[in-house]
């Protein structure tokens, strides 16, 4: 079923419109409407995270797989949490580095705690949590 689209007019100072257009080009959007829709969805996701209801998160981690017991520590953190680990993807980047994406479902504070715990482990070079939600 196709959603009804409503058009509306927005007034902006010239510098904000120019910034909007720069972002459209930089991010590869086909129109101002596409960018505005995504910005609104981002706000909705952030509100869902602030409400404390069940949300989705993707934790992206780059780490040195030669770091002693690091993989096991990461698994232990995932197993001890009250968060559902939906799946994880492991990629060997080179001889020393691996990239892992861990998809999580649960309460925002629990997901953020996993992110902080894994990100703080010795040998983790990069950890970033991307927030998502089923309600957008």
Query: What CATH number did the domain enclosing 21 receive?
Result: 1.10.1220
Same domain for 122 and 109? yes
Same domain for 120 and 80? yes
- The torsion angle over the Cα atoms of residues 89, 55, 112 and 38, rounded to 10 degrees, is 80
pLDDT above 70 (res 136):
no
Query: Residues with Cβ < 8 Å from 107, sequence gap 6 or more?
Result: 52, 53, 54, 55, 82, 83
Tell me what the mean pLDDT of segment 16-24 comes to: 93
Identify the DSSP state of 2.
P
Q: What percent of the chain has pLDDT over 90?
A: 85
Phi, psi (degrees; rounded to nearest 5) at 10: -125, 135
Tell me what the mean pLDDT of segment 100-115 comes to: 95
Same domain for 116 and 68? yes
Query: What CATH number did the domain enclosing 111 receive?
Result: 3.30.70.1150
Q: Is residue 1 part of a domain?
A: no
Q: Which domain, by its residues, includes 82?
A: 55-132
Q: Is residue 6 part of a domain?
A: no
Assessment of whether the complete model's pTM goes beyond 0.75: yes
Same domain for 42 and 103? no
């Amino acid at each position: 079923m196709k959603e009804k689209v409503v058009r509306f007019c927005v007034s902006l100072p010239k510098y904000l419109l120019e910034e909007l257009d720069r972002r459209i080009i930089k991010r590869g959007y086909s129109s101002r409407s596409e960018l505005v829709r995504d910005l609104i969805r981002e706000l909705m996701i952030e509100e869902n995270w602030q409400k404390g209801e069940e949300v989705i998160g993707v934790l992206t981690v780059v780490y040195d797989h030669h770091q002693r017991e690091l993989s096991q520590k990461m698994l232990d953190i995932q197993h001890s949490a009250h968060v559902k680990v939906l799946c994880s993807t492991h990629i060997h980047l080179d001889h020393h580095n691996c990239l892992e994406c861990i998809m999580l479902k649960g309460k925002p504070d629990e997901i953020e705690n996993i992110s902080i715990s894994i990100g703080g482990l010795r040998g983790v070079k990069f950890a970033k949590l991307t927030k998502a939600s089923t309600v957008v």
